Chain A
Amino acid sequence: MKYTTFNQQAVDTMNEPMFFGKPVNVARYDQQRHPIFEKLIEKQISFFWRPEEVDVSKDRVDFLKLTDAEKHIFTSNLKYQTLLDSVQGRSPNIAFLPIISLPELETWVETWSFFETIHSRSYTHILRNLFPNPSEVFDDIVVNNEIKKRATDISKYYDDLIFYTQIYQTKGEGVFEIDGHTYTVNMRELKKKLYLCMNSVNALEAIRFYVSFACTFAFAERELMEGNSKIIRLIARDENIHLTSTQHILNLWTKGKDDPEMAEIAKELEQEAKDIFMLAVEQEKEWATYLFKDGSMLGLNEEILSQYVEYIANQRMAAIGLGQPYATSSNPLPWMNNYLSSDNVQVAPQETEISSYLVGQIDSEVGADDFEEFEL
């Protein structure tokens, strides 16, 4: 089934599934099978921000004061986040757009990916300010083994779905021999790949950022690297909405509110979905080990971070019906919530009148007092 950028047949999108139905044609939102995606688009756009609005110049002074172990933690986290957003800035578009059948979902995916590109641009903004030559940091991302290990698991489900879709859209269903490998392509197989890919993306948005976030905010708790922390807070807010979207997709499937075949597949592959999630949890914990290899940082250590990942994973897994496999039930890093709450994204006093939807110029003159203003 060839992809077409404008399907000339009339389609009733109210009766189409999210994926692998008839190709889309008119980008219309007057009737929506799943109106949640348009709501997510609106919310996400209301969060629009530009990295350049955040003054990170003060961070340079702080950075020079960090110990070598802390510099390693800070820079490694930025590298890992750069990897994650490099993948997320392109993959939802490439993997999902060719197989989406609903205009509201198509536009959501495009909106989502666009915000990931803002995240990518913000890392360059941060690094340019800290290093005379940020190229070394970026260059290391593709050679650093710890990061490469994660890249493999993050991209493999996307790559698999993309490749099978390409075969399907050029040759249709069947068994194909390509470069010495045999590929069996049929709709059931494609849908399974989609299901696993969506679970992998969901795990990425759900927990893969949180060890880095915790480190960033732990620096901010000590009034260090606060420009960076403001940017990460904006990113965290976006990631929360991305996560909500993948949770909706997965739940629409499992609860039989979309494609009935996807409900079957969700049952069939439940264990694999769990494994994908729990492997991501293990990799995050290993990441904490790598970060703290030369020494930990004030307020955080490997054990607390691992507990935090488990605590977050329990919540995120429960949200998609995968249970709560970890023992940690209370939040080991309660102060994280101050940074993850969207009320607190604007901290400069002159911005208090601005509605929480708008991000104005963010001032670098933030004192310790500003953090005490958080109302919890």
Chain B
Amino acid sequence: MIVDSKQPQVCVNKDARFTFEGEDNLLIAMEKQNIDVHYHCREGFCGACRTKICKGKVEYVIDPLAFIDDDEVLVCCCIPVGDVELQTY
């Protein structure tokens, strides 16, 4: 399989692997892969999309207001910077 090295690779729950293709945020990218992610607001203030980040970094496109721990991200308002490994709750 040829992988475009510039596009971040996303791994979710150790089994789903896909390339992030510049979607507006990780939530949209995960939904495209039919991964079940909780959400309500889709705007960073409710916390429903809280997801564990095991490896890698993200960048927020909307300021996240909901509470998250140091090892968690709000997928509705961030994009990956490089490869990431996530774990949904």
A and B are interacting partners: yes
Question: Please, which residue of chain A has its CB at the minimum distance from the CB of B44?
Answer: A43
Selecting from A240-248, A263-271, A361-369, the interface stretch reads: A240-248
Asked if A341 and B47 make an inter-chain contact with CB atoms under 8 angstroms apart, the answer reads no
Asked if B42 and A248 make an inter-chain contact with CB atoms under 8 angstroms apart, the answer reads no
Selecting from B2-10, B11-19, B32-40, B78-86, the interface stretch reads: B32-40
Asked if B65 and A341 make an inter-chain contact with CB atoms under 8 angstroms apart, the answer reads no
Contacts A43-B65, A318-B89, A376-B31; A244 near B40 (Cβ below 8 A): no
Q: B17-51 vs A: 1/0 string, CB under 8 Å?
A: 00000000000000100001011111101111010
Contacts A331-B38, A337-B40, A340-B41; A244 near B63 (Cβ below 8 A): no
Q: In the assembly, what is the distance between CA of A343 and CA of B66, in Å?
A: 17
Task: List A contacts of B39 (CB < 8 A).
Answer: 337, 341
Interface range on chain A: under 10, 10 to 19, 20 to 34, or 35 or more?
Answer: 20 to 34
Q: In the assembly, what is the distance between CA of A376 and CA of B66, in Å?
A: 21
Contacts A315-B48, A319-B47, A330-B36; A342 near B67 (Cβ below 8 A): no
Contacts A244-B65, A247-B67, A251-B67; A342 near B42 (Cβ below 8 A): yes
Task: List A contacts of B41 (CB < 8 A).
Answer: 237, 240, 340-342
Question: Please, which residue of chain B has its CB at the minimum distance from the CB of A39?
Answer: B65
Q: How far is the CB of B2 from chain A (nearest CB, A)?
A: 31
Among B63, B65, B67, B89, chain A packs the most CB atoms within 10 A around the CB of B67
Question: Please, which residue of chain A has its CB at the minimum distance from the CB of B38?
Answer: A315
Q: In the assembly, what is the distance between CA of A43 and CA of B67, in Å?
A: 15
Q: How far is the CB of B35 from chain A (nearest CB, A)?
A: 12
Asked if A240 and B45 make an inter-chain contact with CB atoms under 8 angstroms apart, the answer reads yes
Asked if A248 and B67 make an inter-chain contact with CB atoms under 8 angstroms apart, the answer reads yes
Task: List A contacts of B46 (CB < 8 A).
Answer: 240-241, 243-244, 340
Among B38, B45, B48, B89, chain A packs the most CB atoms within 10 A around the CB of B45
Task: List B contacts of A241 (CB < 8 A).
Answer: 45-46, 65
Task: List B contacts of A251 (CB < 8 A).
Answer: 67
Question: Please, which residue of chain B has its CB at the minimum distance from the CB of A255?
Answer: B69
Q: How far is the CB of B69 from chain A (nearest CB, A)?
A: 8
Task: List A contacts of B47 (CB < 8 A).
Answer: 243-244, 247, 319
Task: List B contacts of A376 (CB < 8 A).
Answer: 31
Indicate which residue in A315, A330, A331, A343 contacts B42 across the interface (CB closer than 8 Å). A343
Task: List B contacts of A356 (CB < 8 A).
Answer: 43
Q: In the assembly, what is the distance between CA of A275 and CA of B12, in Å?
A: 33
Q: How far is the CB of A58 from chain B (nearest CB, A)?
A: 26
Question: Please, which residue of chain B has its CB at the minimum distance from the CB of A318?
Answer: B89
Asked if B89 and A247 make an inter-chain contact with CB atoms under 8 angstroms apart, the answer reads no
Q: List 21 A-B contacts (CB under 8 A).
A: A36-B65, A40-B65, A43-B65, A241-B65, A243-B46, A244-B65, A247-B66, A247-B67, A251-B67, A315-B48, A318-B89, A319-B50, A319-B67, A330-B36, A337-B39, A337-B40, A340-B46, A341-B42, A342-B43, A343-B42, A343-B43
Closest 7 CB pairs of A and B: A340-B40, A240-B46, A342-B41, A247-B67, A341-B42, A342-B43, A244-B66
Chain A residues engaging chain B, CB cutoff 8 angstroms: 36, 39-40, 43, 237, 240-241, 243-244, 247-248, 251, 315, 318-319, 330-331, 337, 340-343, 356, 376
Q: A39-B65, A237-B41, A244-B46 are in contact. List 18 more A-B contacts (CB 8 A).
A: A36-B65, A40-B45, A240-B41, A240-B46, A241-B45, A243-B47, A244-B66, A247-B67, A248-B67, A251-B67, A315-B89, A331-B38, A337-B40, A340-B46, A341-B39, A342-B41, A342-B42, A356-B43
